[in-house]
Amino acid sequence: MKEVLEGSHAVSQAVRLAKVQVMSAYPITPQTHIVEALSEYCADGTMDARFICVESEHSAMAAVIGASSAGIRTFTATSSQGLALMHELLHWASAGRLPIVMAEVNRALAPGWNIWMDQTDSLAQRDTGWIQLYCEDGQEVLDTVLQAYRLAETVNLPVMVVLDAFFLSHTFEPVDIPGQDLVDRFLPPFSPKIALDTSDPFAIGQMAPPNVYMEMRRDVQKAMEQVLDIFSGVEQEFLNIFGRTYGPVERFYCDDARIIMVVTGTAAGTCRQVISDLRSKGEKVGMLKLKMFRPFPVNLIREDLGRVQKIAVVDRNFSFGASGIFAQEIRAALCNHPGHPPVFGYIAGLGGRDVTVDTLSEIYWKTKESDAPEDESVWVGLVNC
């Protein structure tokens, strides 16, 4: 059944359909609509679940860690400062191998206060051991949340489903909300591999001395290494039931492209328009939408980008003292690939600044007209002040 929903509510609907039993969150703009809707579902009995209104994001993650450790399907949502505050607990969730799913609304970090779109918050958590999936529209958000549970509960790693502040969280779009029966076919009840039990008592999370710590962390990585494979199976099943698929990366006019633009999130929608316009003018340009950031799909990147002439990466984030984070990761993925093309890194749309058709066109032409990148990162759309 199609409904016109804002992206936030696509998340809430997916959480409802996933029959999550314990949720905990602390309000932060622009995540609030997600948790408000979930609170209503709990209050009106739509969901048989507990929503724990904690006093901070740190506690929110701690609470879902507590619940997940008892073998219950859990959910939380946050953004920006909240995610930064959660940071410590993100490690607890992943190394505890708890299949928690979190919606993360990309928002800029203070100071000065800025509630608008920016990816630095989620990308700053890249080393925490969470799977990260970036979404373009409301439908993808809903579908990805459902897939995230399958994925998380299979590999025993937490998943962060990332959506742009306002551009996606607060934008109304038609979204197909699947029936519960179909969702139940796709996502059976949670059967935990780790669950505290008084009849079989054990301790979890206790001290791991040097003789075991490395092996435990190696296992997180081994699980990560299987994510791509497993995600493709999950997607195949999703496709069979719901008729939709996304892929860890999406290729748009890539087959004969000489320049490929790499984008994420809602910018991909804008970029599709730009590519179509450029193609109609005869430009050999394509787009690669990166959905999965962790694990980073190195082989797919090499396969898709290794033989083109130039790569233009649009980063709505920045790692100070280095470069845009997606560009950095793509460069790293390609560096051992013989004859790889130059990677042009562009920084655009930080702190809620719009990434328009013009912004992306400018990036394309700048790339086409330069033999080599003029800098590791070129900041686009700066206003002199």
Residues that bind another protein (CB under 8 A): 21-22, 24, 48-50, 52-56, 58-60, 62-72, 74, 88-89, 92, 95-97, 150, 153-156, 188, 190-194, 196-198, 201-209, 212, 215-216, 218-219, 222-223, 226, 229-230, 232-234, 236
Strand spans (E) along 61-118 = 74-79, 101-106
* Rounded-to-integer distance, Cα 15 and Cα 77, Å: 11
What is the Cα 139 distance to its own chain's centre?
Answer: 14
Nearer to another protein, 179 or 188 (CB): 188
Tokens of 24: 């905990």
- The minimum distance between CB 133 and another protein, in angstroms, equals 17
Tokens of 238: 């999703």
Nearer to another protein, 96 or 324 (CB): 96
- The minimum distance between CB 91 and another protein, in angstroms, equals 9
Nearer to another protein, 85 or 311 (CB): 85
DSSP letter assigned to residue 126:
G
- The minimum distance between CB 16 and another protein, in angstroms, equals 15
Nearer to another protein, 52 or 254 (CB): 52
DSSP letter assigned to residue 324:
-
- The minimum distance between CB 111 and another protein, in angstroms, equals 22
Which residues are CB-contacts of 15 (< 8 A; sequence separation ≥ 6)? 23, 34, 38, 47, 75, 145
Residue 205: Cβ-neighbour burial (10 angstroms; 0-12, 13-18, 19+): exposed
Q: Give the DSSP H or E segment for 142.
A: helix 138-155
* Rounded-to-integer distance, Cα 94 and Cα 192, Å: 15
Nearer to another protein, 6 or 235 (CB): 235
Nearer to another protein, 98 or 161 (CB): 98
- The minimum distance between CB 78 and another protein, in angstroms, equals 14
Which residues are CB-contacts of 207 (< 8 A; sequence separation ≥ 6)? none
Nearer to another protein, 215 or 358 (CB): 215
Tokens of 370: 């330069």
* Rounded-to-integer distance, Cα 371 and Cα 74, Å: 50
Kindly report the backbone phi and psi dihedral angles of residue 273, in degrees, each rounded to the nearest multiple of 5, phi listed first.
-65, -45
Nearer to another protein, 115 or 148 (CB): 148
- The minimum distance between CB 236 and another protein, in angstroms, equals 8
Nearest Cα to 189, choosing from 57, 99, 78?
Answer: 99
Q: Which residues of 169-181 are buried (b: 16+ CB within 10 A; e: fewer)?
A: bbbebebebbeee
DSSP letter assigned to residue 265:
T
- The minimum distance between CB 248 and another protein, in angstroms, equals 14
Q: Are 23 and 63 in contact (CB under 8 A)?
A: no
- The minimum distance between CB 57 and another protein, in angstroms, equals 10
Tokens of 307: 């033989």
- The minimum distance between CB 289 and another protein, in angstroms, equals 23
Nearer to another protein, 52 or 124 (CB): 52
